[in-house]
Chain A
């Protein structure tokens, strides 16, 4: 609906303060997007696809097109027909076409669907690059919560069409007690010390690891205490995931 592919039956949408229905052209000239997978004209080259799609937003020069293709690492294939491209390459070309229009906001809907782990990583890095180097706001819609956690700075959880949580990813996750894995030596001493903390709950002590639950704010205090009492801490990492958070806040509901 934000990209006008679906017509709203009620309500209105504003982009950068402009009513999408009344000022469609002005509103969309500052936005670009990829809905699920970017499908291009397979019988045209990557360059020609970008020229056509980019020129629909503004006048684009050859150098700009080549620049956008270079950013996504497809310069060597710029003049080859898109039908020879892999899914991952099309996804990167999708980001190039988004980049070319110089939008202030890019809307990405499930951008890593169907990609292999390497492709997913590349797309994630490109998204971060667009945000950090090109100062674009990336509006990412995804069911892959690990992806959201790796890429997003702010998030909103929509359940049954309503936002039930929103804020910075860090703050939202910090608000909940988190499980940690600790590897420390001597093992028995570490366990004894940890058990003495009333604000730490020991979950398990098997396989040389100590699993604990602690408020995120007090995790540094736990590490410091262990170290100052002669315990060597080899690793201390959280099991906290966005998925856990998500499942917790949507508990009892099935449709997202």
Chain B
């Protein structure tokens, strides 16, 4: 616990840790303010396809909808901020030379690497919670509350969630988002364990995430066949909590696959770090 606290303290003592929070705040505030100013136009575009067949009343463009909308557009940004910190977690100690002072202490390398990994997960959790709270609170303040209407155009489905159910569903959605982002943190952490500088792990992690996303979205049978083997396929697990009915089985399967990814990646980091020779 003490080691975890020290690692967290070190992490949050560095300015780069706050880049993610700053940029997220900027994007969310900017997006929500612009959406507020263009509310009529957005609403018009949203309703165009639905109004042919449905009569829709109430506050459709509400804080919950805005939150779901912004969350959808953070597939690349959030992994980048996570890679920026998790990818620096171990390698920065090698770059700065502090690893020599750290590893000659009584706590085992296993404990030290576990504390660092937990600190990386703590940061990941913090970033997602910050995003979620900012989206929801600012969204509700600017747009008010209301029922959530999600239009899955590609699947020709419209999902209606009454407002009373939304807070708990949003909570679960954000918990799932943290779970899936933990895989990104684990990849960056593993790369950080293998590298002696921070640039490689950050770029490497982003390369993996972007390539997997691109491959997963290619509309060819060959790439579609690869989809089950790409962790990015399961990263939209959070969206399933905004579906009706909630596909619990699919969520459990995706959650297990993501969890196993994180676990295996951490175990590799653990073994590598324990055997690593510190030569410089």
- Distance between A13 CB and nearest chain B CB, rounded to angstroms: 13
Mark interface residues in B9-36 (1 if CB within 8 Å of A CB, else 0): 1100111000000000000000000000
When distances are taken between beta carbons in the complex, the residues of chain A under 8 Å from B97 are: 37, 39
- Distance between A219 CB and nearest chain B CB, rounded to angstroms: 44
From B75-83, B98-106, B194-202, give the one contacting chain A.
B98-106
Are A35 and B104 interface neighbours, CB within 8 A? yes
Classify chain B's interface size: 20 to 34
From B127-135, B205-213, B256-264, B272-280, give the one contacting chain A.
B272-280
When distances are taken between beta carbons in the complex, the residues of chain B under 8 Å from A55 are: 2, 6
Interface membership of B162, Cβ < 8 A? no
- Distance between A17 CB and nearest chain B CB, rounded to angstroms: 17
What residue of chain A has the Cβ atom nearest to residue B107's Cβ?
Answer: A56
When distances are taken between beta carbons in the complex, the residues of chain B under 8 Å from A185 are: none
Are B14 and A53 interface neighbours, CB within 8 A? no
Mark interface residues in B99-120 (1 if CB within 8 Å of A CB, else 0): 0111111111000000000000
Are A41 and B96 interface neighbours, CB within 8 A? yes
Are B3 and A40 interface neighbours, CB within 8 A? no
Are A40 and B101 interface neighbours, CB within 8 A? yes
Complex Cα spacing A34 to B103, Å: 11
- Distance between B95 CB and nearest chain A CB, rounded to angstroms: 10
Of B10, B104, B108, which contacts A44 at CB under 8 A?
A: B10
- Distance between A80 CB and nearest chain B CB, rounded to angstroms: 14
Would you list which residues of chain A between 30 and 49 have a CB under 8 Å from chain B? 31-44, 48
Complex Cα spacing A37 to B105, Å: 16
Complex Cα spacing A36 to B97, Å: 10
- Distance between B254 CB and nearest chain A CB, rounded to angstroms: 38
Q: A39-B101, A43-B14 are in contact. Are A25 and B108 (CB under 8 A)?
A: yes
Are A41 and B279 interface neighbours, CB within 8 A? no
Interface membership of A91, Cβ < 8 A? no
Complex Cα spacing A6 to B6, Å: 24
When distances are taken between beta carbons in the complex, the residues of chain B under 8 Å from A31 are: 104
Of A36, A41, A56, which contacts B106 at CB under 8 A?
A: A56
Interface membership of A256, Cβ < 8 A? no
Complex Cα spacing A16 to B100, Å: 22
Among B9, B97, B100, B107, the most chain A Cβ lie within 10 Å of the Cβ of B100
When distances are taken between beta carbons in the complex, the residues of chain A under 8 Å from B14 are: 43
Are A7 and B6 interface neighbours, CB within 8 A? no
When distances are taken between beta carbons in the complex, the residues of chain B under 8 Å from A26 are: 106
Classify chain A's interface size: 20 to 34
Complex Cα spacing A31 to B3, Å: 19
Are B13 and A28 interface neighbours, CB within 8 A? no
Of B15, B101, B279, which contacts A53 at CB under 8 A?
A: B101
When distances are taken between beta carbons in the complex, the residues of chain B under 8 Å from A35 are: 100, 104
Complex Cα spacing A41 to B88, Å: 14
Interface membership of A3, Cβ < 8 A? yes
What residue of chain A has the Cβ atom nearest to residue B105's Cβ?
Answer: A56
Q: A29-B106, A44-B10, A52-B9 are in contact. Are A6 and B101 (CB under 8 A)?
A: no
Interface membership of A24, Cβ < 8 A? yes
Are B96 and A39 interface neighbours, CB within 8 A? yes
Complex Cα spacing A32 to B102, Å: 11
Are A5 and B100 interface neighbours, CB within 8 A? yes
Are B277 and A7 interface neighbours, CB within 8 A? yes
Are B106 and A5 interface neighbours, CB within 8 A? no
Q: A39-B96, A39-B98, A41-B10 are in contact. Are A25 and B104 (CB under 8 A)?
A: no
Mark interface residues in A205-223 (1 if CB within 8 Å of B CB, else 0): 0000000000000000000
Interface membership of A112, Cβ < 8 A? no
When distances are taken between beta carbons in the complex, the residues of chain A under 8 Å from B15 are: 43
Q: A7-B277, A44-B10 are in contact. Are A57 and B105 (CB under 8 A)?
A: yes
When distances are taken between beta carbons in the complex, the residues of chain A under 8 Å from B108 are: 24-25
Beyond contacts A25-B107, A44-B13: 6 other A-B pairs, Cβ-Cβ < 8 A, are: A4-B103, A5-B277, A31-B104, A34-B101, A37-B97, A53-B105
User: Could you jot down 26 A-B contacts, CB within 8 Å?
Assistant: A5-B104, A5-B278, A5-B279, A6-B278, A6-B279, A24-B106, A25-B106, A28-B104, A28-B105, A32-B104, A33-B104, A34-B101, A37-B97, A41-B98, A43-B14, A52-B9, A52-B10, A53-B102, A53-B105, A55-B2, A56-B2, A56-B6, A56-B106, A56-B107, A57-B105, A57-B106
